[in-house]
Amino acid sequence: MTIREKNKKRSFWLLLCCAFLLVACAGNAVPPVKEISTVEKELSVARGSDAEIYAPLELRYAEDKLRDAKSALAREEYDKARQLTEEASINAKLAEAKASAEKEKKLVQETKDNIDILRKEIERVQKK
């Protein structure tokens, strides 16, 4: 391989790397507006599952992270906003899951209590 061919090969790889870096950097310059909208919907779903009652801490974390993400978006700190949006999404989903689980536990306990009441009533009737 001649020196000229080596230089062409190096130039090609250098240009390819530069192009890759430009594409990667350009992707980060996009504001995460869609992601923020998605988190707002996830928070709405969490609130609808009574997260205020059953998972208030997780819900608050999600709301705080979303507020911080919107602030970072306003400052054009898109990477920070994207990261905070991801954290808010995780916390919102956790709040919804925890609220659903707590409601299910409550329902199971109520069912057990009703079964106990029915058993006692059956025993009382049978003793007569």
pLDDT digits (tens, 9 = 90+) for 37-91: 999 999 999 999 999 999 999 999 999 999 999 999 999 999 999 999 999 999 9
In the block, tokens 């911080």 appear at 68
**Backbone angle region of 76, left / alpha / beta, with phi > 0 → left and psi within -120 to 50 → alpha:** left
Q: Tell me: the pLDDT tens digits for 87-123?
A: 999 999 999 999 999 999 999 999 999 999 999 999 8
Give me the mean pLDDT over the 6-17 stretch: 54
pTM: 0.69
Handedness of CA 72, 76, 79, 81 (dihedral sign): positive
Task: Give residue for tokens 């029915």.
Answer: 118
Domains in the chain: boundaries:
1-30, 31-99
Cβ 98 vs Cβ 51: under 8 Å = yes
What pLDDT score does 26 carry? Answer: 54
Examine the pLDDT at 7 and tell me if it is beyond 60: no
pLDDT for res 12: 55
Give me the pLDDT at residue 16, please.
45
Q: What's the pLDDT band for 128 if we cut at 50, 70, 90?
A: confident
pLDDT at 18: 46
How far apart are the C-alpha atoms of 58 and 93, rounded to whole Å?
A: 9
pLDDT number for residue 29: 77
Beta-carbon contacts of 100 under 8 Å, excluding residues fewer than 6 positions away, are 49
Task: Tokens for 15, please give them.
Answer: 């240009």
DSSP state of 48: H
